[in-house]
Amino acid sequence: MHKSGGRQNMRILHTADLHLDSPFEGLSAGKAALRRGEQRDLLYRLAELASKEQADVVLLAGDLLDSDKAYRETAEDLVRSLSMINAPVFISPGNHDWYSPKCPYAKTRFPENVHIFRKQEMEAVEVEECNAVVYGAAFTGKHSEALTDDFKVPEKNADKLNIMCIHGEYGNRESLYNPVSEEKISVSGLDYLALGHIHKASGLLKAGNTYISWPGCPEGRGFDEAGEKYVSLID
């Protein structure tokens, strides 16, 4: 991130695609329950990392949950772990955990530092202590049309850090999952675009003056997702 005018540096912890409460259908009931418990442990590791690295914001870019249902233990651990983070947390529901009035996000009482994007239209949230704005939107069904094509940073926010957290597929205009256009992002005015959806980490990309990445899934769910897994720390 750059510094100019009224802008200042900030540190972002960005992750996506945890797929909490995956069914693990190939395992026995006992082993599947054990794996789901290990997934929940990841939430506390993220909270510890946010504290250790002094993250200014935490971005969860979709598919935090594997479906529109969640075990009671998962909801409890989610609330407890996110409350341990001493920074604003933003959640953008994706195609697996899309937002509806009956989804776990609607039925769970989250701590005050957590903001969940609930509509399929762009919303802006000020993070005053960082002189930043975080934009985001939610999937409200299993698929989504392009949500970023018409987005441009408002002139009033030009001297701030402008961050977007959203679930979507970059560079594939035929995607059913919020296709994100490199050309459109290059003129958006964003400083950083935090994506989720693809389970393999992208590394840091750039379109125009906008940096872009998706971290992939932080923990594999099967032999097809073996190897090193990551979350992203963006300065």
DSSP 167-201: E-EET-TT-SB-EE-HHHHHTS--SEEEEES-SS-
37-64 confidence digits (pLDDT tens): 888 999 999 999 999 999 999 999 999 9
80-104 confidence digits (pLDDT tens): 999 999 999 999 999 999 999 999 9
C-alpha span between 31 and 230 (Å, rounded): 24
Look at 3 and 152; give whichever has higher pLDDT: 152
Strands 205-207 and 210-213: antiparallel
The single-letter DSSP state of residue 59 is E
Given the structure tokens 């930043």, which residue do they identify?
A: 132
| pLDDT score at 222 | 80
pTM over 0.85: yes
Given the structure tokens 């249902």, which residue do they identify?
A: 69
- Evaluate whether 92 touches 135 at the Cβ level (below 8 Å): no
pLDDT > 80? residue 73: yes
C-alpha span between 181 and 188 (Å, rounded): 11
103-114 confidence digits (pLDDT tens): 999 999 999 999
Mean pLDDT computed over 131-154: 97
Mean pLDDT of the chain: 94
